[in-house]
Structure 1
């Protein structure tokens, strides 16, 4: 019997091309796993039922802003919550004659969004008839030159800016309450299947001058990643044309388009507008803004990591480092972009925690329940 055997040939080292191909394959597998895991977790959270809130036996007349986009999505959100939490809602807008409508409908409460174009003598008549009136201001503190002339006409004033509470109280308003906006789940929710959009970094918003100057400091570095900027006025950015469609200069995106872009981005930048802007603002007193903008909640509701400029009141809504990440300078922003694009598990953990926190605390159902509790007490 021949006991000889043939040893297998030793494995040949991979060529550089084969090594690169294998590396690409492994990266692809890892990316697919990370994407699938995130989408699966988001789908589980998205399927959870919201907390059941009390339905109040009141009739609310909701007066929409009448300004169209971008205010109309806010109107949709507030109206949807009112319809869930009260037994009757009558809808109108600032262009209609409220006095005639009130005579026919007799609501318990008139809630006005924005209200800058509503004839104030109509509010006086409503209050004289014993009907409760409330206004929810949409743009504080950026237009306080205008809102200061309006707030004293209402029984209740709600503002999304903490620093405006004391300002309106000093004007003589007795019932002023801090009530930020929130996320409307019909508009902002994560993509739970494979996303049709794949970006490293997104920013969506108008090119206020503080944003233009901020991004100019780091734009070449930012654009080495798969980064896209969307919004109006970005032709103010001298370098915009160098990046083609990656910097969109003049389009309002619908909430659904925006949510899809957020959810398809690994990181979404939220850079607030400045309270000092001689071109865009009407804030002569330069009341500083410390509260989160509506975009804060909308990004979190879309299931991605939010990288936001630090604001004093942010920690009351999301825990920095756990549910949101913040920055104080363009350099810090870029350092954190680099870090989280290379630490997927940490990025994913923050995105999931933010989404879960939003569903628990920061929906319009929760905000409207707060508003009604202020006016009518606990249900």
Structure 2
């Protein structure tokens, strides 16, 4: 069976797209990745935001988006996939989604890995609302977002949690540059800054983007390691930390994050805020440590910094659990729901 995955951007921005590609290929299917917009276009947008906003408001911007849509449509018509999986792609025109679904055997679905509440800009939110009814199914990582997507017009919505990719997220040896007491991997946010501030003097390393927004006198500036610890370096950053501190962002409510699985898959010991969904996957004090307040978080950090054997035991048990929570398993679950053969079955093509 052929599966086409459409992503918003091309490499090096690929992440979830590649994880699903590997998971589906492990089931025996052929997969092709297609980018709606080239990564160079994305970087250009970031460098020249004012110019891009002006272009978006004129005919040239519409022609640019139309060209991207047509390129993806041509790929679908030529390759004739059995199933098309779209990752986000708010800019994809509803008519293109409809046409893509018509050339497949099992339709066109969307995996939306974020909350629609944080879609940047009213224009994209309007486009997303227009596009949702055209998908056979919308898969969301959060149970709480199922009714939200229904209200936004989706015909069918299904919960599909994140997972881990055993190829990238796996234990590695500790590297000296990454050795620390506590590691935090994630983008800056005012709440993240607030939660991490008490840990600044306890051997904290921060990996991720946006932390240049910190105030000039913030002690967290000394903790930030720009350009390190993310992507392919994530396993090394996790291996070097005694504790990996995780926060499911407030806008995601009682859900989970990709790092819910990535940290234990890399062999890390995780302390994270308690959410209903994380508690579905990991048992408190056996596979992770949950906290409900700032004081509980600091108490847990101080306790487990002193108790290495307990840290190692919890990390080992969580790592074993991750063997069942891979993107191959998620793809198989999605295929069963859609009535797609889980394993590749040869069939004559028209």
Q: Smaller-chain TM-score range?
A: 0.7 to 0.9
1:299 to 234, 249, 263: 263
**SS at 1:148's partner residue?**
helix
8 Å CA contact 2:80–2:104 kept in 1: the answer is no
Specify every segment of 5 or more residues in structure 2 that has no aligned partner in the other structure, as ranges: 38-67, 343-350
How far apart, in 1, do the equivalents of 2:336 and 2:243 lie? Answer: 36
8 Å CA contact 1:184–1:364 kept in 2: the answer is yes
Bigger Rg over Cα:
1
**SS at 2:270's partner residue?**
strand
**SS at 1:165's partner residue?**
helix
How far apart, in 2, do the equivalents of 1:348 and 1:157 lie? Answer: 38
Counterpart of 1:10? none
Specify every segment of 5 or more residues in structure 1 that has no aligned partner in the other structure, as ranges: 1-57, 276-287
Counterpart of 2:205? 228
**Residue 331 (structure 2) pairs with residue 368 (structure 1):** yes
How far apart, in 1, do the equivalents of 2:292 and 2:253 lie? Answer: 15
**Residue 109 (structure 2) pairs with residue 134 (structure 1):** yes
TM-score by length of 2: 0.79
How far apart, in 1, do the equivalents of 2:144 and 2:257 lie? Answer: 13
**SS at 1:94's partner residue?**
strand
8 Å CA contact 2:97–2:131 kept in 1: the answer is no
**Residue 33 (structure 2) pairs with residue 91 (structure 1):** yes
8 Å CA contact 2:214–2:220 kept in 1: the answer is no
**SS at 1:112's partner residue?**
strand
Counterpart of 1:330? 294
**Residue 304 (structure 2) pairs with residue 345 (structure 1):** no
Alpha-carbon displacement from aligned partner over 1:18-69 (angstroms, at most 9, x marks no partner) = xxxxxxxxxxxxxxxxxxxxxxxxxxxxxxxxxxxxxxxx211111221655
8 Å CA contact 2:163–2:325 kept in 1: the answer is yes
How far apart, in 1, do the equivalents of 2:231 and 2:191 lie? Answer: 24
**Residue 248 (structure 2) pairs with residue 272 (structure 1):** yes
> Judging changes above 3 Å, is the alpha-carbon distance between structure 1 residues 369 and 295 closer, same or farther for their aligned structure 2 residues?
same
**Residue 193 (structure 2) pairs with residue 212 (structure 1):** yes
**Residue 134 (structure 2) pairs with residue 158 (structure 1):** no
Once the two structures are superposed, the pairs formed by residues 47-196 of structure 1 within 5 Å of their partners are: 58-66=1-9, 71-95=13-37, 96=68, 97-129=71-103, 131=105, 132-143=107-118, 146=125, 147-191=128-172, 193=173, 195-196=175-176
Aligned positions, number:
302
Counterpart of 2:227? 251
8 Å CA contact 2:208–2:228 kept in 1: the answer is yes
How far apart, in 2, do the equivalents of 1:223 and 1:354 lie? Answer: 27
> Judging changes above 3 Å, is the alpha-carbon distance between structure 1 residues 373 and 252 closer, same or farther for their aligned structure 2 residues?
farther
TM-score by length of 1: 0.73
How far apart, in 1, do the equivalents of 2:193 and 2:239 lie? Answer: 24
